[in-house]
Amino acid sequence: MTSFNGFPSRMSYTAVPNIFINNVLPQIDDIGELKVTLYIMETLYNKKGYPRYVSFSELAANTSLMSNYKQTEEPLNELTAALKLAMEHKIILGLSTEDGDIYFLNTEADRQSASKIKTGELKITGINNVIDDTVDVEQPINIFSLYEENVGMLTPMIAEGLKDALELYPETWIADAIQESVKQNIRKLSYITAVLERWGKEGRSDGTYRRHFEEDDPKKYTSGKYGKFVQH
């Protein structure tokens, strides 16, 4: 293996979401999964057009990526296993088509694209019918409707607060935080935000991103420095 001599003064960069580094990375134990995820991020970052996806054949033809699996007798099987783990962790989405498997980053925009491809609403040149054994594509959660149905009226200020939350946290987290506010009967955006901030710093009590963490207690969100804003 060639020794690394440090980064040059000028080089290109790939954007990696902060939420991946802070909240997703701790749940990845398999080095193969981590490597294929980073390669997919790099490939998608440098692609143009709509929708952006990467095919299994592209990944298999990437000599740099596949060099990570040369130690095994079946490198393609190792690549498939790594992709499966990344899909199980919902970092990426996959669709099986007649022309091979294709993968997306699990963002709201890409979830919508994958769903449209799956239903036939969106046609892609070179990609024919999605076959029966597709990886399930979850429909996007409507956080705003969920808030109105469970918490209260959606005012412009609350809608803006939910939009800010969507930029920082997964939609599933926000949905769960809304349910937590219902469970604790503290139906306020300030409480939902406090729950999200707590999960973002210390992990989920269900072990999603941290394996061991104390059970949620609503007092954690009402007894701190900003507790009075949550309570009232």
Instruction: List the chain domain ranges.
Output: 18-119, 143-231
pLDDT band at residue 215 using 50, 70 and 90 as cut-offs: very low
Residue 48 has pLDDT above 90, yes or no: no
Distance CA 158, CA 156 (A): 6
pLDDT band at 3 (very low <50, low <70, confident <90, very high): confident
Eight-state DSSP code of residue 140: P
Could you tell me the fold of the domain covering 18-119?
A: Arc Repressor Mutant, subunit A (1.10.10)
Could you tell me the pTM of the whole model?
A: 0.58
pLDDT band, residue 221 (cuts 50/70/90)? very low
Q: Which strands sit side by side in the sheet containing 54-55, from one edge to the other?
A: 54-55, 100-105, 92-97
Q: What is the pLDDT of residue 206?
A: 52
| 13-17, 19-23, 77-81 — most confident range | 77-81
Instruction: Answer yes or no: is pLDDT of 208 > 60.
Output: no
**What does pLDDT average to over the chain?**
80
Q: What is the pLDDT of residue 219?
A: 52
Asked if the model's pLDDT at residue 225 lies above 50, the reply is no
Class of residue 79 by CB neighbours under 10 A (exposed 0-12, middle 13-18, buried 19+): buried
